Structure 1
Amino acid sequence: MAPAPDLPGDASATFTDYADTVIEAVGDRKYLIVVGHSFGGYTAPLVADRLAADLLVLVAAMIPAPGESPDEWRRDTGYAEAVRARAARDGGRTGNADPYVTFLHDVPRALAEEAMRRERAHPSPAGRNEPWPLDAWPDVPTRFALCREDRCFPPDFLRGLAAERLGLVPDEITAGHCVALSRPTELASLLESYR
């Protein structure tokens, strides 16, 4: 069974705290595929590196550079400009302050409401400002799954970032940012194909 642990939600949680939580949940399992979604792009490589995972998969995820905090990532990658440009083309849906418009637009409403009830402060203020601690991308085979209807991370932006930072052409799913909730079968099929 694949663990999907809840990460610490307190204000002082660091990348090490997040990685430690995942590693504890993994236990002594072998033949590991580590999957990170969204901000999990900061944690998953740490876990994959420490556990010598067989594969690292990023799903609609941030791709950090060594020493780059999430707040710096937004500036360094041109994220804000990409969101503004996409919002100008889609009538302000991309980057919208309403999570039902930006993150959950293609998730069934009852499930989206349940997800919002479970929402907590993440990442922590400490995590948003902490430099990513690895000196380089881990020596682990890596795949990237992009969501074509993502209103959080514009697809063209992520295609370019995956090419620039990882040398990858992403696999694509027709879904919004919360693909595990909106298209779980399609995502599971893609992940299974990697295995």
Structure 2
Amino acid sequence: MDFVLVHGTTQSPAGWDRVAKLLTAAGHRAIAVDLLTPRDLPVEGYAQHARDQYDGERPVVVAHSGSGVLLPAIAEALDARALVWVAAYIPDFAGGRSLRDEASAVLEPDWIGVDPTADPAKASEFLFHDCDPETERPALDSLRLFNPAVLAAHPAGAAPEVPSTVIVPTRDRTLRPDWLRRAGRERLGVTPIEIDAGHCPHLSRPAELAAILTGRA
């Protein structure tokens, strides 16, 4: 099985390294795409950018955090067999609101306006608070800002037709776990899977996350 791993707004693809190694060891192929480009693109442009980095067929596409805005378009461009939302924003398919419209309901209030790439202490407090010391260093090294305007402003399109899995980190300090639980049920019609982790379980709980991914695949 192929897994295409999509980084969020504050990390490079290196944030997926631990999960990718575990997926590979289990006999799968893992491709962490890089969404960073010299200029901002429309949603379809980022989907094609991901398509250009993948040479397989019908992968499971896994998105983290703000890249949930792009997940439906990337999944369509790659003809995905399934989608996985890891602490990821689920668009308002029925109402058409953007992440910017919903920010106060989606995000923890203390996180709004924080740039963790400019302050390692803030990164540790909000993103990596559940990482052990051995993990925190590479976690901090993975920090990188990717925040094109389209992520906040893009209105939701149609809901994806392929199966979805929603993973809710119960100790998330950036995206509200209660909101994500409700959005998974109401917007995708699925019962979320909970994991005892902060916002980045691919770093703090890679084995548990990889087991969920392989089990769902």
Matched, 1:68 2:111: no
Give the paired residue count: 179
Matched, 1:95 2:111: yes
Instruction: Using the TM superposition, give the Cα deviation of residue 154 of structure 1 relative to its aligned residue in structure 2, in angstroms.
Output: 2.0
- Which whole-Å CA distance do the structure 2 matches of 1:63 and 1:37 have between them? 10
- Scaled by the length of structure 2, the TM-score of the pair is 0.73
Q: Which runs of 4+ in 1 moved over 4 A?
A: none
Deviations 1:133-167 (A, max 9, x none): x3x11211111111111111121121112122112
Unaligned ranges ≥5, structure 2: 1-28, 115-121
The letter for the 2-side match of 1:95 is W
Over the matched positions of the two proteins, sequence identity in percent amounts to: 32
- The aligned counterpart of 2:84 is 57
Please point out which of 23, 29, 32 is paired with 1:4.
32
Query: SS state of the match for residue 70, structure 2?
Result: helix
Quick one: structure 1 residues 174 and 123, their matched pair in 2 at CA, closer, same or farther if it must change by over 3 Å? same
- The aligned counterpart of 1:188 is 210
Quick one: structure 1 residues 180 and 187, their matched pair in 2 at CA, closer, same or farther if it must change by over 3 Å? same
- The aligned counterpart of 1:30 is 57
Deviations 1:92-148 (A, max 9, x none): xx638422111110123454343334422212134332334x3x1121111111111
Matched, 1:145 2:150: no
Query: SS state of the match for residue 30, structure 2?
Result: coil
- The aligned counterpart of 1:13 is 41
- The aligned counterpart of 1:116 is 140
Unaligned ranges ≥5, structure 1: 85-93
The letter for the 1-side match of 2:33 is P
Deviations 1:22-60 (A, max 9, x none): 211222x12411111111211221122233211111111
